[in-house]
Structure 1
Amino acid sequence: MSGVGGVGGTAPGPAGEVPGPGPESRWPGGGPDQESREPDGDPDPEGREPDDEPAPPTRPDRGWIGAPVPRVEGPLKVRGEATFAAEVALDGMVYAALAFSTTAKGRITTLDTAEAEAAPGVVLVMTHRNAPRMRPMPQFDTSEKAAGYDTLPIMQDDRVHWNGQPIAVVLAGTQEQADHAASLVRATYEAEPATTSFARAKAAGTEAGWFRGPLHLEIGDAEAELAAAAVSVDATYRTPPQNHDAIEPHAATVVWHGDDLVVHDASQSVAHTAWSLAHVLGVDEERVRVTSPFVGGGFGGKLLWQHQVLGAAAARLADRPVRIALSREGVFRVVGGRAPTEQRVAIGADRDGRFTALVHTGTQATTRHNAMPEPFTAPARSHYAVGSVKLDLRVAYLDVVANSTMRAPGGAVGSYALECAVDELAFALGVDPIELRLRNEPDRDPVDGRPFSSRHLVEAWRAGAERFGWDGRDPTPGAVREGEWWVGTGCATASHPYVRMPGGAVRITLTDRGRALVEVAAHEMGMGTATAQTQVVAELLALPPDRVSFAYGDSRMPGLVMAAGSQQTASIGAAVIAARRVLVAELLELVGDGSPLAGLAAEEVGALDRGLAKLDDPSRHESYAAVLARAGRAEVVVEASGPPPLEAATWSMHSFGAMFCEARVNAVTGEARVSRFLGSMDCGRVLNPRTAAAQVRGGIVMGLGAALVERTDVDERTGRVVNAGFAEHHVPVHLDVPEIDVIWTDVPDPRAPLGARGIGEVGVTGTAAAVANAVFHATGKRVRDLPLTPDRLL
């Protein structure tokens, strides 16, 4: 990748344009060095000052941005030195366990905690009878910092709202003692009528869905155009509830210091969680600190749930630090996942395959104590050119745990229905599925007519088809068999909207030793944020990456950057570019008359070789260390925010992909296996192909799980999740996952900061559809309900 421009001379414009390559992109920087990453550590063992150090190796020819740099936190994780939320050890700490309700709705009539309180090691049993007074959580997305997923009172009364709601918290000296005592809590209930069946919820009536706007849209008369179409498909697709099953269960270690609360959390929203906890507990926001340096998987599920609130309340009541770590069963009981959906997709086309009508409507389940619909109509807004459109999402209400965001909310399940319907239409027309998609490629946003900021999906389709070997595919379903296995191939379009939320801010500290510390309340959940942003700062400041430290995961740091919507790269990048401009201006204020930079304005200089230089005369160069030494300064500190995220208001911005799958279905057992998978991705500039490919592969693995095995089973008589553990709730394991190939268009988006769009969620979209389409091609049997288990394929 080329550099991102002169430090003083370029920055995002009002619509977030990417800085263009500047002269420093051709200047030598430094090579990676895995020594100390502290910005102001002790002098080197040999006693060298920075200017005396041997010259580092030359950086990659195309700059640090785009280089496949290994994860900066990788060695810590491999050595077991990365401390996660449930590994923080505090003096006097006690361990928490939860007792869960066993009825879906009603009141607790008796609650006997005597045996639990008498159990060995027990310090406290907290129930609604002795819990501190607390407010409900502020619901996610209802205000700038709200992070809660339900609006219910938390252990404030005897009401039960779902089967699995916490009814008691037990604190004890060890986790084993707490778990045992929690099993001794006895409760009886006065049950009330509860709606725990999706079918009954739909029959009881539905309401219009709403997610940052109404989820209803009509352009023209799509139903009439559908009826008049030369060729059409009209089918119903269903997806089941799915649970968050990150490797690291939800956990928090909580301690009060007087009226100050510190929460070591497994979080993808430290600043939002701190504000929301302060609201719930009735304390000032500045008295709550949330840290989360390492997270073992988030995917939308690690925001604020009841366990963090209960841990904080119990810690205050007991006056002891508390570790509350949900068991795997506890995650199923307390943490919601993806909601079930029933979707109708109908497409009308002329004889040439041009779409004339698109209808995507349906219903999803949710609860009355949250408002987090699964906006499955999102892909229909951007995938295809079509004259008439009808989109509508309705919600039906269940008495269950609140559903939540889950990787690519809406897009993951909506793309399944839409892309299967496109495949069915291609079969009806006798047209190759890729060719049909290319014939309906839009040149502007199909819904509102905005120009695309950058869309190279056609190139992705062509490159992917060549790499996958699509040519020569026999279009006849069931034409290829190898022994007991039917073999088929399928494809689908992937997409995810570009997001950059307001609130991105960073602080940069530049020291007289030529080191930079960047601080932002962002998150690293394994997606490579710390690595990619280290590369960005190294490039923008012309420093070797080993001279850059990226600090994150602490609500005391600047910024309001939630790890959601695949938006961290854009949000942090925009803020870093803004802070870089402020930093250059401050440095130029410090140069003296004897400096080669004297008299230069910020727009005249760029970063070069650990310092600044005149853009058109690199000989006028001075290192950062020299500038600060002349000024008698040990460091300079700047803080800045990115510009308002106006680019998405002007341009239609999405990450796209073309997904290719080869699947095999056993003719005897009905077992489906994926033997090959390729994602050909169009996500703008790729900052680090190594970490980016890992992100896309991870999304594809989640899509494979949704396609083949994942389903949360709820007993519709009681509302209880019956497969609350990995013994019964299946997720893909290594033998389920083939080699996954990932390729890129790698074309910078001129409207996105750094030219990069999000990659964290696009990989899961389109994947289930590609698998289902490959299974149809293998067997000739179209299954429209996920997952594609053997009973549905026999």
Structure 2
Amino acid sequence: MTTVAGADAVGVAHTRIEGRDKVTGAARYAAEIPFAELVHGWLVLSTVTRGRVRTIGDEAVLGMPGVLAVLHHGNAPRVRDDVVGALGRPDPIIEVFQHDRVPHAGWPVALVVAETSEQAREAADALVVEYDREPHDIAFRADHDGARPVQDDEVAKGDLEAQLAASEAVVDATYTTPEQHHSAMEPHAVTVCWDGGRLEVFDSNQGSKWIADDLAHLFSLDPSAVHVRSEHVGGAFGSKGLRSHHVAAVMAATELHRPVRISLTRRQVFAITGYRSPTTQRVRLGADAGGRLRAFGHDNLNLTSTLREFVEGSAGFGRTMYASDAHHSVNRVLPLDVPTPTWMRAPGEAPGSFAVESALDELAEKLGIDPIELRVRNEPAVGPVSGLPFSSRNLLGCFEEGARRFGWAGRDPRPRVRREGRWLIGTGVAAASFQAGAAPTTASATAETDGTFTVKVTAADVGTGARTALTLIAAEALEVAPDRVRVRIADSDFGHAWVAGGSMGTRSWGWAVSVAARQLRERLALFGSDLPKDGVTATADTADLIAALAQKERHAFGAQFAEAAVDVTTGEVRVRRMLGVFAAGRIINPLTARSQLVGGMTWGLSMALHEEAVRDDAFGEHIGADFAGYHFAANADVGEIEADWIDDPDPDDPVGIKGIGEIGIVGAAAAIASAVWHATGVRHRELPIRPDRVLLAEAARTDA
């Protein structure tokens, strides 16, 4: 890394510290770390959607070459069923092999352990499991009588119905999004050693301390007896928490007293590591003739499993976005015989923004008001529902800068008027927002006798560049060049830390690192040049600092712009260019920050046009649970994408961070959908906007 003065470290573009190791293969991921006497486990998943396991033919496969054990509900170690971790109660799927019930397709029913991965897979394929089937229900419908409101997740202000009745213009529309999957480049994998009464776990996760604490509780171990490391992670997006393969690997390692590795296949990842629930969202907006919102209504429904209630809180998006006289928003869930959904990049905000921002565009059309101007006229001075002040809010600055750079002023607002050969061209815009939270974290900083500094924090770099950002934050606080700082992460022995999630990772870790580094600098002033042989260390715990934060609405904001070209004879949609301008706090490393924002916008494009997981109603399983059947944007699908930001440091954060990991996807699909409307004159309220849907919409428009 180039030597830069500490004061100039933050805000200067730096390549990733581990970048060379990753591209040369020197970086070892969870499934690549060598171990002596390593054995391999292979999960066997249920082939029925609901029922009970009648028999497991383990005796037949125990005689196969290399097979060492077959674990199932009849012989597996017992685990506790009362785990409540950092993010609440985990999915009960982690209580693996504890009973004979099958609550959904893909439920783990056995683990085959063998000397090689090939032997384990062959034996797993040969294992005969017989079931007593029961009727199942996986039908996600808005009119399903099993749907229920989420407790304490309904917000009401004013009389919505009265304000709708008094409005000059009303939009009442339903928007749907499908089941979507994380699709990280690195599938889930874990290697577990049981050595001298201590678990050594090498894993791909979003928080090593989180995993360590949950495993300790699950197996009734002292927390000090579980050590989890996860130095390199090839993507996560919300899916890499504690899962059934962790628990199964620990069971096998403690039974066999040999290192056990489980690597999931892509189809297994689809089945048992979570996903974004489909949603059905009704949005009702009412405005006066000048475009001022009188009514804002948002009713969101997502599915969940019968095991655990998971809420895709899409109705929360509008609660911080626009002022209105009356507001009613509610999240509802529908329990079905499906795996439990989980967090997925911008949970709630990604699908919620599609519905709300699409409805705003429809309202702008009805009123004859420019879509940006409509948002300007409904900009709130304080939180529209909470009444709390914003820590900072520069959404309008994002729209102003984005409109200038995108060329919005020259846009003809009429749909279906711009054509280039066989292509109809349209442009769209949407707002973006994501919460800016922080969570208690510990960190330490050590001044070494050779003039370097070591920082330890249980952060997780899931591909975001967090390791590099934390190095820059430490260098700034220590007032030294970044190449004098070594940041060690992803080791549960380093203490409590927030996970890589909720766009809170770097903010939470960076806060603790900056405090520890500043305290170290103060301590060093007492020592002069004579340091003890073990160096000088300062530690920090931000629990009290974060608890003292004033109550404010804390969010990052952004404006998304898109230009789409549509061929109505083939149904093809091409997004030619996208621009996102964000007010997302102080940017630590412009190089990796831009990569994160562009990545999120690319995901938004993929969400708008491609991604859709489908389950077979009769069998409850996915159709095409692989990268051939589940489509997302590839290189040829992605045109020009530009991401930038305006100055917007958080005044209450010592580093000024707000978080950027998720806001890039928010609003992107809505901007593209509005661009498709502007191109064709047809609204698409159902994602993805597939070619067949474009063709059907064109046929309906022609018939009308």
TM class by shorter chain equals over 0.9
Note if 1:77 corresponds to 2:22: yes
Within the alignment, does 1:418 sit opposite 2:360 as a pair?
no
Structure possessing the higher relative contact order (Cα contacts under 8 Å, 6 or more residues apart): 1
The 8 Å contact of residues 278 and 303 in structure 2, kept in 1 or not, is answered as: yes
CA contact (8 A) 2:444 2:539 kept: yes
Say yes or no: does 1:636 pair with 2:536: yes
AA aligned to 1:557 is F
Q: Is the 1:63–1:539 Cα contact (8 Å) retained in structure 2?
A: yes
Quote how far apart the aligned CAs of 1:205 are.
Answer: 2.2
What one-letter code is carried by the residue in structure 2 that aligns with 1:717? A
Deviations 1:188-216 (A, max 9, x none): 211122221112x8523222215xxx210
User: Residue 64 of structure 1 corresponds to which residue in structure 2?
Assistant: 9
C-alpha spacing 1:666/1:542, structure 2 compared with 1 (3 Å)? same
Partner of 1:291 in structure 2?
A: 229
Identity %: 42
Asked if residue 135 in structure 1 is aligned to residue 135 in structure 2, the reply is: no
Structure 1 contact 233–346 (Cα < 8 Å) conserved: yes
Q: Secondary structure at the match of 1:179?
A: helix
Cα distance change of structure 1 residues 632 and 757 upon mapping to structure 2, 3 Å threshold: closer
Pairing 1:182-581 to 2, within 5 Å after superposition: 182-199=124-141, 203-210=144-151, 214-502=152-440, 504-581=441-518
Aligned position for 2:573: 672
SS at match of 2:277: coil
Change (3 A) 1:338 1:735: same
Is 1:117 aligned to 2:62, yes or no?
A: yes
Checking the alignment, whether the CA contact within 8 Å between 2:5 and 2:480 is kept in structure 1 is no
Check the 8 A contact 2:402/2:579 in 1, yes or no. Answer: yes
Which of these residues, 136, 140, 148, is aligned with residue 90 of structure 2? 148
Give the drift of 1:95. Answer: 1.2
Amino acid of the residue matched to residue 189 of structure 1? Y
Matched, 1:792 2:687: no
Aligned pair partner of 1:701 in 588, 599, 602 = 602
**Residues 703 and 150 of structure 1: CA distance in aligned 2, closer, same or farther (over 3 Å):** farther
- Matched-pair contact (CA < 8 Å) for 1:147–1:303: no
Question: Offset of 1:752 from its aligned partner?
Answer: 2.2
Write the deviation string for residues 240-292 of structure 1: whole angstroms up to 9, x where unpaired: 11112100000001111032111101000211110111111221111011100
Asked if structure 2 preserves the Cα contact closer than 8 Å seen for 1:85 and 1:265, the reply is yes
How far apart in 1 are the matches of 2:597 and 2:82? Answer: 33
Q: Which moved more, 1:121-130 or 1:652-661?
A: 121-130
- The residue correspondences of 1:636-655 to structure 2 (distance < 5 A) are 636-642=536-542, 643-646=544-547, 650-655=551-556
- 1:169 Cα shift? 0.8
Rounded Cα–Cα distance in structure 1 between residues aligned with 2:278 and 2:261:
33
Residue pair 2:456, 2:494 contacting (<8 A) in 1 also = yes
| Partner of residue 107 from structure 2, selected from 150, 161, 165 | 165
> Residue in 1 aligned with 2:676?
775
Does the 8 Å CA contact 1:94/1:172 hold for their aligned counterparts?
yes
2: CA distance, partners of 1:117 / 1:433 = 66
> TM-score, structure 1 length as denominator?
0.85
* Aligned AA (2:630): H
1:632 and 1:369 mapped to 2: Cα distance? 55
Q: Secondary structure at the match of 2:191?
A: strand
Structure 2 partner of 1:741: 642
Query: Contact between 1:243 and 1:712, CA under 8 Å: does it hold in 2?
Result: yes
- Kindly tell me: are residues 648 and 675 of structure 1, through their superposed partners in 2, closer, same or farther at Cα, counting changes over 3 Å? farther
User: Aligned partners of 2:233 and 2:87: how far apart in 1?
Assistant: 20
CA 223–417 in structure 1, closer or farther in 2 if over 3 Å, else same: same
Q: 1:143: Cα distance to partner?
A: 4.5
Letter in 1 for 2:222: D
Q: How does 1:90-129 map to 2 (within 5 A)?
A: 90-129=35-74
Q: Is the 8 A contact 1:202 1:396 kept in 2?
A: no
Do the aligned residues in 2 keep the contact of 1:574 with 1:641 (CA within 8 Å)? no
CA distance in 2, matches of 1:209, 1:501: 25
Aligned-residue offset at 1:429: 0.8
**In 1, Cα distance between the equivalents of 2:47 and 2:138?**
13
- Find the residue that maps to 1:346 and give its secondary structure: strand
The match for 1:712 is 613
TM-score after normalising by structure 2: 0.96
Aligned length: 694
Counterpart for residue 664 of structure 2: 763
Shift of 1:387: 1.5
User: How far apart, in 2, do the equivalents of 1:706 and 1:154 lie?
Assistant: 32
Task: Please tell me whether the aligned partners of residues 521 and 557 of structure 1 are also in contact (alpha carbons under 8 angstroms).
Answer: yes
Query: SS of the residue aligned with 1:753?
Result: coil
Aligned 8 A contact 2:282 2:298 in 1: yes
Amino acid of the structure 1 residue aligned with 2:318 = A
1-side partners of 2:159 and 2:549: how far apart?
Answer: 28
Secondary structure of 1:490 counterpart: strand
Distance 1:648 1:403, change over 3 A: farther
- Asked if structure 2 preserves the Cα contact closer than 8 Å seen for 1:647 and 1:751, the reply is no
Structure 2: tracts of 5 or more residues without a match:
696-704
- Whole-Å Cα distance in 2 between the matches of residues 417 and 540 of structure 1? 42
C-alpha deviation, 1:152, in angstroms: 6.3
Letter in 2 for 1:542: E
Cα deviation, 1:467-516, whole Å, max 9, x if unaligned, reads 111111111111112222111110100110111112x1101111222211
Structure 1 letter corresponding to 2:509: I
Per the alignment, in what secondary structure is the counterpart of residue 669 of structure 2? Answer: helix
Cα distance in 2 for residues equivalent to 1:554 and 1:152: 22
> Partner of 2:607: helix, strand, or coil?
helix
Contact 1:147 1:269 in 2 (8 A): no
Quote the Cα distance in structure 1 between the aligned partners of 2:448 and 2:627.
Answer: 49
Structure 1 residue 424: Cα displacement: 0.4
Decide whether the 8 Å contact of 1:225 with 1:348 is kept in 2. yes
* Structure with larger Rg: 1
Partner SS for 1:215? strand
Are the equivalent residues in 2 in contact too, given 1:94–1:322 (CA < 8 A)? yes
Distance 1:294 1:58 in 2: 26
8 A Cα contact 1:122 1:171, kept in partner: yes
Separation in 2, partners of 1:350, 1:323: 62
Pair 1:178-2:120 in alignment: yes
Deviation, 1:146, is 5.2
With 232-241 and 474-483 compared, the bigger mean Cα shift is at: 474-483
- In structure 2, give the amino acid aligned to 1:114: E
2:310 aligned partner, one-letter code: M
Deviation at 1:417, TM superposition (A): 0.2
3-state SS in 2 of match to 1:674: strand
